Amino acid sequence: MAEERKIVMEEVEAVDAPPKARVETPEPEPRQRDYLDGFLAAKPAAAPVGEPGGDLYESVIEALKEIYDPEIPVNIYDLGLIYGVDVNEGHVMVTMTLTTPHCPVAESMPGEIEMRVGAVPGVGDAEVNLVWDPPWDPAKMSDEAKLELGML
């Protein structure tokens, strides 16, 4: 049969502390300059007022995105009806088209755009240039508009 093991306990009053390990540390190397410091401290370059990315230009685009085509539930900007926005010292020229020359809002839409864009703070006067060349086609719509209409 197997031998029986006995656990023996011994009581002591104190034990010597184990010796501490000595680790020699070399002098720390100088920390490399963080490459993000300059990037994080840099301020973005100010965009010219009338250029894409400028505050006035972006405000005009936001105003255009609030105007919806009455027959299609998508704003005229995402629909691709706006061909260009030129901002020059407070004067805004919007070049646009309509889905067809026989569009029922052909007479009222340019006036509504002039009013909405003219109401943007910083715009002195707005002008709409209605063009038919190149003609509008569904390929000019943004992905958001295509998604809204179930074309994606």
Please, are residues 65 and 94 in contact by the beta-carbon 8 Å criterion?
A: no
Proportion of the chain above pLDDT 70, given as a percent? 89
Side-chain-side CA neighbours of residue 73 (13 Å): 4
Query: Residue 48: what pLDDT?
Result: 62
d(CA 34, CA 130): 53
For the question of whether the overall pTM of this predicted structure is more than 0.85, the answer is: no
CA 84/CA 77 separation, integer angstroms = 10
Please state the rounded mean pLDDT for residues 77-91: 91
Residues in the chain: 152
Where does the pLDDT of residue 72 fall: very low under 50, low under 70, confident under 90, or very high at 90 and above? confident
Distances in Å between the alpha carbon of 13 and those of 20, 32, 89? 22, 53, 92
